[in-house]
Structure 1
């Protein structure tokens, strides 16, 4: 009987773990890539991470950062004269000729769609005059504008250098920042374009197999691939399903096939478990007698089931799942209620008027009293005169 009860207990425990609190943990994907991150593109909430803060080599995912840096610091209609330096570049190219005139937008497209290293170098020289100046200004932009913490780039294309590194988390921050820009969104989501160059006339096709449809996944909205021997396969992808927009970064996968499998696993996990909501500027929240408000429109990432919003006494709004784990936190602004204004009464002027009236009345009484006193004295004087 005792053995039977133990068996039943273990069976019930396993059923609980399968159907209850253990479900979300079991849903978390197992990946073969060495580092990865899944983020809400709009809120920035981290939904999954694996070695996401370990510094690694990004290969051509660097070009995502170069693209948004170029878009925000120059004009895409700028006409650029290609220099001799493009002849010495290694790796994938769009076969630019020295002296050729190309718009900045076309160079960004060639760099992102066909991963042209010569286009990336031409962009860097145009923006800052030299690779040295570009490196300095590029890193300052990433740190100050985007807030990366563990990234240092020494070139615009991602060809290997031991001092050229980043993390999955930083790349996620960079891509999320870039996706707020409509020009970047358009280029990042381009599957193909006609390329009419002096020495190369062709149709450029995205290298991203999910974006161009070789691996069907209709929710994909953009992507960039990368590879050098030291970094192995790297991949950046965005997708949306009408409920949430997702950003996936995968680093150092041995095989191209597996890095796409890992990306799909991340998206399936994100779409199944989370959705995006928004609180509007001025929306109010309370913690006891303390009141707070949203200082701007804010995107929130919430679990599909059993989400809870908790506001602490410092005005931090936390989104928690059913296990009390924080999915996202945002700072609210303290709401200081104005004390009701006390209207001034008209008593003071009335008191002033009464005071003036009393003063005048008192003066009149004194005058009358003085007059009566004088008259009494005169009457006494007259009586005395008569009695004599």
Structure 2
């Protein structure tokens, strides 16, 4: 019995020592938000979720879609004359007046800085003709992104019957919008000088997203608030090659929620060389001095992924190739996929050269096989 106790004590000590050197997973943070999602746009993984699939009002984070449509329209440089109908809207404003003229992109920039409902309305009427038609454009784009539980009614996010989304859907929208360079540059700026064409003037707008000052890794995106929706925030951050999108809906302490969630998320990320375990493969060769040519990855590919992410390796090679084959010649590619999302595509190249098999037949044999192929077959 004494020996058993001694062995158990030794075993427990060894276990504790082992646990002390294993990396500890960060504990999930407590957040004030009613709904929250932390999303990895590279892999499509949800790293944190709280009521993330419940449809809720999302206030002015709606303007992410409005700005995205403006930047994607191909009409960014077109001048827009502001009408009384455009500015006849309640709530926050970027100070537009009937008769002002500025480009569509300038309106989008000012709208995202000041969260101007007048700017959102101007974009909607300019691109859609009327609010209903623009809402249809918003919903069509949402469907393309995969926002299955989202329905847009207003371009600004003012409360309206049926206007709602989920934290998860808004994360998809945030990730999609940040892929647009003009959008990302706008929302990542703490203040912008917006030029008016008429009357000629420059107006400075401050970004409402205080997370840009509070969190060094923050790269955007948009705040929102109505009494019905509460405080809403969609934000993005990058660190050491990893990118995350965070969404909170109805969050009394949203700044701290996002900081805590980002810290939690980045603690789950780690750099990984995708090509590290690639095993050389081969492609059959027709008419060459060798029957197959080995091929391997042309270059190294790496990504920052959450721990335990399962990476799928998909090979794309021809069934065969005709000689000659030159060393270094691209024969196909390997695709690395996580959760159905492509992380990288790496060319596969021939490791060695395979010359054409020399023809050693005599002239008589060639003549005979050409004119009497039935004899050659014997």
Would the aligned equivalents of 1:287 and 1:312 in 2 still touch at CA under 8 Å?
Answer: no
1:92 and 1:13 map into 2 onto residues whose CA distance is 62
The structure with the largest helix share of the pair is: 1
Aligned equivalents of 2:295, 2:62: Cα separation in 1: 40
Residues paired across the two proteins, number: 333
Contact preservation (8 Å) 1:58, 1:158: yes
In the other structure, the counterpart of 1:227 is 225
Aligned to 2:46: 46
Partner of 1:64: 64
Relative to structure 1, is the Cα distance of residues 307 and 246 closer, same or farther in structure 2, using a 3 angstrom cutoff? Answer: closer
Distance apart, 1:123 and its partner CA: 0.5
TM superposition shift of 1:174: 1.4
| Secondary structure in 2 matching 1:121 | helix
Q: What corresponds to 1:350 in structure 2?
A: 364
Q: Quick check: 1:302 aligned with 2:305?
A: yes
* SS in structure 1 at match of 2:156: coil
Return the index of the structure with the highest Cα Rg.
1
Q: CA deviation at 1:278?
A: 7.4
How many angstroms does 1:148 deviate by?
A: 2.2
Match of 1:103 in 2: 103
For 2:16 and 2:303, the matched residues in 1 are separated by: 32
Gaps (5+ residues) in structure 2?
284-293, 317-333, 371-378
Q: CA deviation at 1:16?
A: 8.7
2:153 matches 1:154? yes
Partner Cα separation in structure 2 for residue 59 and residue 97 of structure 1: 23
The Cα of 1:45 is off from its aligned counterpart by 3.3
Query: Residue 97 of structure 1 aligns to a residue in which SS?
Result: coil
Which residue matches 2:166?
167
Report what 1:74 is aligned to: 74
Q: 1:327 to 1:124 in 2, by over 3 A?
A: closer
CA distance in 2, matches of 1:327, 1:22: 28
Counterparts in 2 of 1:171 and 1:286: CA distance versus 1, 3 Å? farther
Matched residue of 2:228: which SS?
coil
TM score, norm. by length of structure 1: 0.69
Q: Which residue of 1 aligns with 2:250?
A: 252
Question: Where in structure 1 are there 5+ consecutive unaligned residues?
Answer: 320-325, 357-388
Aligned pair in 2 of structure 1 residues 240, 317: CA closer, same or farther (>3 Å)? closer
CA contact (8 A) 1:96 1:199 kept: no
CA shift at 1:157, angstroms? 0.8
Which deviations, in whole Å up to 9, do the C-alpha atoms of 1:268-306 show, x marking residues without a partner?
A: 1122220456769xx995699999999xx98744246x7
The residue aligned with 1:375 is none
The change in CA–CA distance for 1:184 and 1:332 in structure 2 (over 3 A counts) is closer
- Residue 271 to residue 84, structure 1, CA distance change in 2 (3 Å): same
Change (3 A) 1:193 1:341: closer
Confirm whether residue 207 of structure 1 aligns to residue 208 of structure 2.
yes
Q: CA deviation at 1:73?
A: 0.9
Aligned-residue offset at 1:227: 0.6
1:245-324 → structure 2 map (5 Å cutoff): 245-253=243-251, 255=252, 258-275=253-270, 285=278, 300-303=303-306, 309=311, 311=313
Deviation at residue 171 of structure 1 after TM alignment: 1.3
Is the 1:80–1:102 contact (alpha carbons within 8 Å) kept by the matching residues of 2?
A: yes
State the partner residue of 1:376.
none
CA contact (8 A) 1:284 1:293 kept: no
**Aligned-pair Cα RMSD in Å:** 4.5
1:243 aligned to 2:241? yes
**Quick one: structure 1 residues 66 and 51, their matched pair in 2 at CA, closer, same or farther if it must change by over 3 Å?**
same
Task: Describe the superposition over 1:190-229 as per-residue Cα deviations: whole angstroms up to 9, x where unpaired.
Answer: 2113457669986321111122x2xx32222223110111
Whether the 8 Å contact between 1:139 and 1:152 is mirrored in structure 2 is: yes
Q: Which has the higher strand share?
A: 2
Q: In 2, distance between residues paired with 1:16 and 1:355?
A: 78
- Per-residue CA deviation, residues 219-275 of structure 1 (Å, 9 max, x unaligned), is 22223110111211111112222332221111111x2xx111110011111222204
1:126 corresponds to:
126
The Cα of 1:63 is off from its aligned counterpart by 0.6
Whole-Å Cα distance in 2 between the matches of residues 157 and 285 of structure 1?
Answer: 49
